[in-house]
Amino acid sequence: MNHLFNGRKVIVGIGSALVDILAHEEEEFLVRTGAAKGGMQLVDHHHELEALLSGVSGTPSIVCGGSACNTVMGVGRLGGRGRFVGKCGTDDFGRRFREGLDACNIEANLIHCDVNPTGRVLSIVTPDAQRSMFTFLGASALALPEEIARSTAFDQAAVVHVEGYLLFNPDLIRMALSRARDAGAAISLDLAAYTVVDQSRDFLFELVEEYVDILIANEDEARAYTGETDEATALAILAEHTEVAVLKVGERGSHIAAKGRTVRVRAMGNGPALDTTGAGDLWASGFLYGLVHGMSLEKAGELGSACGYEVCQVLGAQIPEEGWERIRKLLD
């Protein structure tokens, strides 16, 4: 895989700069609010999110978040070089967001907005550890293609990792992918959520064929993208136009296809999941870190699996230090 990275090591994430608000609720909360379980529902105004929050039974946790941001923060915790590109407000949530990046030694390439507040996500975790999200994009929805065109954030990047949620802003994601390609970076795309794929399928096909080197999907996303329930068939379709394709299958591990061969990676750990928030994001942290540091597909997949397992043992997408210590043992 080294030919993809030109000897570079920096992993750049581009996506929505969001603050995660995490709450445990019963299934009835999803029924009452009409949420698609395991999916993501956009909320147009922060007042709507506040109304949803008023129905939360406990005190929620608040952490720095967003899919691509979670991934690069994981890279930083592994000791790698990470950079994040996104747009946030100048409010208190925006300050918290930058502090979260700083704490993980991530280079912040933030575009600031005085018009809209920082985006946030209400992530509802049900007793089966599934997370269902209500997302108010806030300032991140106002990110403009010309702001990305002027950015130097992709310079010397090994990989530019793009979250699928940017598909809701077609001009922006196309500009980001074009700039990443011009900078000589490999491009990684995480499909993010099956609801995103369902709403963007034709445009997504076009982008993958033209730009994407590494395509990452879970079972639901792969089914929405390929229309196939057979895992081998779905993986083959994911791999048609990419250098590397990943199909994550939860507690059964993952399948990775590259250059005509398929690798099966087992799931790590044996404890039950507390919360699946960030599981895919942190899996990508370990996998991308492993690839740019010269690991085999198998070893990079194992590192991704370890990161995904550890984040499922806590509420939210922030692995505590003792978890990172266990993960780093795989690097020794």
Tell me if residue 271 falls in helix, strand or coil. coil
Nearest to 14 by CA among 146, 200, 135, 151: 151
User: Is position 325 within any domain?
Assistant: no
User: Is position 24 within any domain?
Assistant: no
> Pairing state of beta strands 157-163 and 131-138?
unpaired
Q: Is 318 left (phi over 0), alpha (psi -120 to 50) or beta?
A: beta
Tell me if residue 13 falls in helix, strand or coil. strand
How far, in Å, CA of 50 to CA of 44, rounded?
Answer: 12
In the prediction, which pLDDT does 2 show?
67
Count the domains in the chain: 1
- The answer to whether residues 189 and 195 touch, using CB atoms and an 8 Å cutoff, is no
User: Is position 289 within any domain?
Assistant: yes
- Look at the chain and count its residues: 332
Burial group, residue 83, by CB count within 10 angstroms (0-12, 13-18, 19+): buried
Distances (CA, A) of 196 to 148, 224, 291: 22, 9, 26
- Which residues on adjacent β-strands are paired with residue 210? none
Which two tokens mark 182? 């011009």
User: Is position 328 within any domain?
Assistant: no
Give the domain extent around 254: 2-16+65-116+141-317
83 CB-near residues (< 8 Å, 6+ apart): 10, 11, 12, 13, 72, 106, 107, 108, 109, 153, 157
User: CA 215, 221, 225 angle in degrees (round to 5)?
Assistant: 75
What is the radius of gyration, based on Cα positions, of the chain?
18
Burial group, residue 165, by CB count within 10 angstroms (0-12, 13-18, 19+): buried
CATH of the domain at 184: 3.40.1190.20
User: Is position 51 within any domain?
Assistant: no
pLDDT along the chain (332 residues), means of 10: 86 94 90 85 84 87 88 97 96 92 94 92 88 90 93 95 94 96 97 92 96 97 96 96 96 93 90 85 98 96 96 88 93 80
In the prediction, which pLDDT does 210 show?
97
- Which residues on adjacent β-strands are paired with residue 86? 110
User: Is position 56 within any domain?
Assistant: no
In the prediction, which pLDDT does 48 show?
85
User: Is position 82 within any domain?
Assistant: yes
DSSP state of 124: E
325 CB-near residues (< 8 Å, 6+ apart): none
Residue-wise DSSP of 142-207:
G--HHHHHH--TTTTEEEEEEEGGGGGSHHHHHHHHHHHHHTT-EEEEE---HHHHHHHHHHHHHH
Q: What angle do the packed helices 297-311 and 321-328 form, to 10 degrees?
A: 160
How far, in Å, CA of 108 to CA of 99, rounded?
Answer: 10
User: Is position 293 within any domain?
Assistant: yes
